[in-house]
Amino acid sequence: MTVKAYSSNLDNSHSTGVDTNEIGEINELLTNLEINPTITYQVARLKSLNLNEITELKQLVESELLKFSEILQSQNIDMDTQLVTEDGYPRGDIDVLQIRIIRRNINMLKNDLSNIIEQSFHLLNTHFKDLNKPQDSLISGVNPNSTIEYKIPFAIIKEINVNGPISSAGIQNDDKLISLGNIHAGNHMKLKSLINEVIQNEDKELDVRVLRRDQEIVDLVLIPTRKWNGTGLLGCKLQEL
């Protein structure tokens, strides 16, 4: 059932006999699932924002992403969980409409976050150029990534091999991955970019940021390697959130 269908029912509630309490619940549901209108407004004028405004917008988007992700997790649902039965009917054990709206919102917010980060990099480069610093100094002396703090997890770490690289880095089962090297919630491309980042940095140090169960954010250093008694470069399983 779509939001449009609900709207049609609301317009004809008196003639069709729809329960007004049900209408109120539907209205409340749709209102609670709306993306913060400030985000929509600021994203529309992204190119005109200064760096401080972009930083504030990034934090707002991350907060909204976290809110919607937690709603999905409360129903044991992720972005790929099937919402219909084998017979093609909507599942009765979950709120299918709510989940569809949340998934749409998450996809929109992830796209917004990616654009926000890209614009912040552009402004940082412009800032350094305005200070008459050569471009090489930006690359070798100041890393733009270091000025941007990532807080949104995008994958959960499972089945850690006690002898593997992930374990050696101090990462624990059920830690949620916030960033690994240059990969974060805005650019991991369903973990494909993460895999490439790991492969390209075999036997090299990668900065890792994880979110613990107690909501503590921990920064660690990982060295992907095959030089251990197991298989793979990490020694764990990763599941997209």
Domain ranges of the chain: 33-146, 150-240
CA atoms of 89 and 82, how far apart (whole Å): 11
The pTM assigned to this predicted structure is 0.52
What is the Cβ-side half-sphere exposure of residue 204, based on CA atoms within 13 angstroms? 9
pLDDT value at residue 25:
56
pLDDT tens digits, the chain, 241 residues: what are they? 334 334 334 444 444 454 555 555 555 555 578 888 999 998 999 989 888 888 889 888 988 988 898 888 888 888 888 998 888 888 888 888 889 999 999 999 988 988 888 888 887 777 656 555 554 444 444 444 444 667 778 888 898 888 889 988 898 888 888 888 888 877 787 888 888 888 888 888 999 999 888 888 889 998 998 888 888 888 888 888 7
CA atoms of 188 and 190, how far apart (whole Å): 6
| The architecture CATH gives domain 150-240 | Roll (2.30)
Contact 241, 156 (CB under 8 A): yes
